[in-house]
Amino acid sequence: MTDAEYRKTQLSRDWLERSTPAWREYRVMCQNRETAFQATINGVAQYENDGSGRAEGGEDKHESALIRYSQICEEIEQAHSDLSVEQTKTLEAIRNMKVENERAVLEARYIKHWAVSKVEKELHFSRSEQNRVHRKALISFYDANTELVEEYHEWHNSED
């Protein structure tokens, strides 16, 4: 691989991975929603099953859990909306590429967030084929979206 090709792969990967931290945060938020939901359910069960029909401070705990659950749901909706915008941009940029199997690999890795092993299995590639197609796809991505990738690179480096 030439220095120019290496640079293209790195810049393309940086652009394609720009929403990965947000995606991970979104997944954590969804897990937190599940935890908050369980806490809310457990609070209701404790309140209803304490024998007296009411537990000291139970209503406050229940209300607090419901409020926190509601807040988490709102945060998740906003994060999902933000991610949807980024995924739409990414998908449009991938669709600028000409070679179908290269588009498929990038979509699987950066839109669907599949692990490499799943990409290999679902797209019927060996590990070496997947690596080769991914490398070629990153170069093709750069060639099809040079301005977009370079602008992001300049902006990202200006923040440092």
Query: How does pLDDT run across 128-145, given as a tens digit for each residue?
Result: 999 999 999 999 999 999
Q: Tell me which residue has tokens 């300049």.
A: 154
What pLDDT score was predicted for residue 57?
Answer: 47
Count: domains in the chain: 1
The pTM assigned to this predicted structure is 0.71
Torsions phi, psi for 112 (to 5 deg): -85, -15
- Asked if pLDDT for residue 79 goes beyond 70, the answer is yes
Return the CA Rg of the chain. Answer: 23
Domain that holds residue 90: 3-159
